[in-house]
Structure 1
Amino acid sequence: MTGAPLDGRLVLDLTTALAGPYATLMLGGLGGRVIKVENPHRGGDSSRTNSPYATRDGLSPVKTAADDMSVSMLLRGRNKESISLDLKTEEGRAVLMDLIAHADVLVENYSAGVTRRLGIDYEAVRAANPRLVYTSITGFGSDAGDGGKAMDTIVQALSGIMMTAGEPGDSPVRFGLPIADLSAPLFAVIGTLAALMEVDRSGEGQHVDVSMLGAMTSLVACEPFDAFESMGYPTRTGDYVPRLAPFGTFRASDGWFAVCGPTDAFAAGVFRTIDAPELLDDPRFAMRDARVSNSDELHERMADWAGHRTVDEAVTAFESNGVPCAPVRALADAVRDPRVQSRREVVRIQHPDFHVDTELWGTGVPITFSRSEVGLDRPAHALGADTQDVLEELLGYSAERIAGLADARVV
């Protein structure tokens, strides 16, 4: 094995909440040295006050001691150092500029216009380090002006994704996972890595600008919903997907399972499984286009068959006939799948100071390299825990200068 792909790269993390911290989490998992810059007067990253908290006595809905840490921060703060720095002060911005001079990447997710007002936008800082890759994750783009607060649910609403789930006529369905907060940082990481490659070629950094709305809507646009509507296909199909029939989730006697049979070969396996081999010769079901036109009847027959069997019986039957099929699992079961745990795609998370008896599982780096070693194996740090070390060792500040910054409440 070699080192991680981003070994030797320094990432400044000026992010909070989820979208930005998830991007820097992945950059840290890929080997970057991530220094998280947090406001010393507002409790740092807002994730630090997300209930529940890991305490010495287990999980708690409220913070009970100074060393308690939110589960959100235990997840998002891994592989990061934390320094406290007040960027609203001239002295704080001067320290940031010294950090930028050493950095390869800066990631921020302030609301649009905030970095300009603080004097730390890309145009203001690029002279301090022309090779810097400056990555912004905003709701609507860094050039959008004051577009309002782009919370995940707001972006889901604007992107149209709420109208892709549920039955026709249902109220909008909010995606349970904060998908907008998670998709934008993935695009930001892609853009950051591409920009780093370009720096190696040209020597020039640049501004990487990702909007949550753009990232989310681009995913929605991967499905041709306009074409579906023009052809009369419903865009909201509930448990089934008629245009891929047989395809959907079905209720068994003790739970749910999913079946995907969009090809003729898979459909033939479905017919054999539900004891209806005659459908192979039925012109309503023998070919894919015909099955789409008659999907309601086909799915109704499958649902009736499923209702008389357990999930295990149904999955075994479909798989024995070569049909893709799987149980619908609870979240706790899904993260404990030995396949994802053995590949470190899901990993245990721990408190930096004490053992947490409760099993806590969090995202790993879901990428396996043949030579490089990656992972999220260093616990989150307390707010400002690394301030002195970073200022002394990276920037060469004297103890007197650091003490002066502390006295002035800059750090």
Structure 2
Amino acid sequence: MSEAKGPLEGKTVLDLTTALAGPYATLLLAGLGARVIKIENPSRGGDSSRNNSPYVTADGLSMLRTSADDMSVSMMVRGRNKESITLNLKHPRSRDVFLDLAREADIIVENYSAGVTARLGIDYAAVREVNPALVYTSISGFGAQGVEGDGKAMDTIIQALSGVMMTAGEPGDAPVRFGLPVGDLVAPLFAVIGTLSAVIHANATGEGQHVDVSMLGSLTSLVACEPFDALESVGIPLRTGAVVPRLAPFGTFRAVDGWFAICAPTDAFAGGLLRALGREDLVADERYATRDARVRNADELHGRIQEWAARKPLSEVLAALSGNGVPAAPVRDTAEAVRDELVLSRKEVVPLIHPQFGFVDGLYGSGLPVTFSRSRTDLSRPAPALGEQTDDVLAEMLGYDDATIGGLRGEGVL
């Protein structure tokens, strides 16, 4: 039996992205088997992530770069399985080189601010002229049409505008910024869904298209999955802190030595919870016997849980809940979570490898959390140095000879 290949094997992606949202999208495509050629600006040191502290050095992690071989952890995560070429897209001759690459590619992904690719002459309209079957995906803050004063959309700005900051915390609290950059991470997921859908269409029809994904729209669409306005109109507060009264018993609670989460909104789960608390007598109590009753008495029910747990070690709390069939789990810190044997065995989290220095103890990155029965996924190839594959790509993919490549480099195109 032949070795399994990635489902996108044979597809070539030109990666015009920087920072996080775009590079995460192309990372997923690379993990699915596509050849991803990252195009970086030689005059600015390439992708901005290359200059994000901390760095992996010969001596381990460092807040400062100590040698040319050092690489930022950000690039080690986002650059895996990619090739890097340098191309100064502001140089007049670079457009011809880019369009030569586009003729041979299947997908382009870019996350410039709206209007930038048009000014550079490399937007979808330009690419479609040379490759009508190509899928061109744009990830931007507000959409390809842009908005007045449209600048570089940062994750915190998108979190603020989407309303997501007002879904966490207690009523009256200051806005809560999610520590995970959800605005930067949700948009690339939709971008990959859109890209793959467009690839299926192109394979069937020979017709490419422009896939336009906005960070604001992506995150706001998730906020809209919960009818917060409607809930508030019937007296259910938007912000409920550690618990969710309308699903009671539901939330996070504290034991003597740690936190745990409970999700027990059904009658069966709620009954199990009361048994775990040693209150079999309350299972049929009119205050807790039905879901609507538990919602009306959520504060009292959640108070009982907290009072019970506050005097017990976490292991005893979880054993009692599990023994009574209640969905519950400890609240882990991030270091413990990424070392979970299950997610490591499924390669949903993987060790990060520096191309020269190897693995640094304790350094992990995101894997590709999809397992196929036949296809292969992989994110094991270390991130490339800036421009590491420039000559090879231009020679192998475009047939440029050494003199042509040298001339372009001498002119500052590469």
TM-score range, shorter chain: over 0.9
State the one-letter code of the partner of 1:272: R
Which secondary structure state, in structure 1, belongs to the residue aligned with residue 380 of structure 2?
A: coil
CA contact (8 A) 1:56 1:355 kept: no
Query: Which residue of the other structure, out of 107, 110, 115, is the alignment partner of 1:108?
Result: 110
CA contact (8 A) 2:351 2:359 kept: no
State the distance in 2 between where 1:234 and 1:293 align.
13
State the distance in 2 between where 1:40 and 1:59 align.
25
In the other structure, the counterpart of 1:77 is 79
State the distance in 1 between where 2:63 and 2:233 align.
49
Query: Which residue of the other structure, out of 406, 409, 414, is the alignment partner of 1:406?
Result: 409
CA contact (8 A) 1:54 1:356 kept: no
Q: TM-score, normalised by structure 2?
A: 0.98
In the other structure, the counterpart of 1:366 is 369
Q: Which runs of 5+ in 1 are unaligned?
A: none
Cα distance, 1:93 vs structure 2: 1.2
Cα distance, 1:147 vs structure 2: 1.7
CA contact (8 A) 2:256 2:310 kept: yes
Q: TM-score, normalised by structure 1?
A: 0.99
State the distance in 2 between where 1:176 and 1:125 align.
38
State the one-letter code of the partner of 2:393: V
State the distance in 2 between where 1:131 and 1:274 align.
62
State the distance in 2 between where 1:355 and 1:76 align.
16
Cα distance, 1:200 vs structure 2: 1.0
Which secondary structure state, in structure 2, belongs to the residue aligned with residue 350 of structure 1?
A: strand
State the distance in 2 between where 1:111 and 1:327 align.
41
Cα distance, 1:133 vs structure 2: 0.2
In the other structure, the counterpart of 1:325 is 328
Over the aligned positions, Cα root-mean-square deviation in angstroms equals: 0.8
State the one-letter code of the partner of 1:63: R
> What is the correspondence of 1:213-292 to structure 2 with a 5 Å cutoff?
213-292=216-295
Query: Which residue of the other structure, out of 312, 316, 320, is the alignment partner of 2:315?
Result: 312
Query: Which residue of the other structure, out of 165, 176, 179, is the alignment partner of 1:176?
Result: 179
CA contact (8 A) 2:91 2:412 kept: no
State the distance in 2 between where 1:127 and 1:114 align.
18
In the other structure, the counterpart of 1:27 is 29
Cα distance, 1:148 vs structure 2: 2.2
State the distance in 2 between where 1:357 and 1:267 align.
45
Runs ≥4 residues deviating over 3 A? none
CA contact (8 A) 2:353 2:360 kept: no
State the distance in 2 between where 1:279 and 1:271 align.
7
Percent same amino acid among aligned pairs? 65
State the one-letter code of the partner of 2:35: R
Q: Which runs of 5+ in 2 are unaligned?
A: none
Cα distance, 1:311 vs structure 2: 1.1
CA contact (8 A) 1:59 1:358 kept: no
- Provide the aligned length of Structure 1 versus Structure 2: 411
Cα distance, 1:356 vs structure 2: 4.0
State the distance in 1 between where 2:331 and 2:360 align.
28
State the distance in 2 between where 1:242 and 1:15 align.
42
In the other structure, the counterpart of 1:58 is 60
